[in-house]
Amino acid sequence: MTPRQLQVLDAIRWLTADRGFPPTLREVADRIGTIPNNVHQIVVRMRRDKLVEWDAHKSRTLRVVS
């Protein structure tokens, strides 16, 4: 796992715990200081590696797989 993927996982966990629901890609991007497109690319790879679950066609479905 890359350092950036760890940042994304931490951001997803933190934002979910803080708000009580999954974050958007934009919220994750804001949290780690990048643009949503970069987060999208990272999340697609992480989903393929079964690190996160995410439905790109629905809002707020991003979550870390335990």
**Geometric angle at alpha carbon 51, from 3 and 56, rounded to 5°:** 105
**pTM of the entire predicted model:** 0.93
Give the integer Cα–Cα distance in Å for 21 and 41: 22
- Residue 62 near residue 47 (C-beta atoms within 8 A): no
Domains of the chain from N-terminus onward: 3-64 (1.10.10.10)
Tokens of 65: 């797989």
Per-residue pLDDT tens digits for 6-65: 999 999 999 999 999 999 999 999 999 999 999 999 999 999 999 999 998 998 999 999
- On the 0-12 / 13-18 / 19+ scale of CB atoms within 10 A, 45 is middle
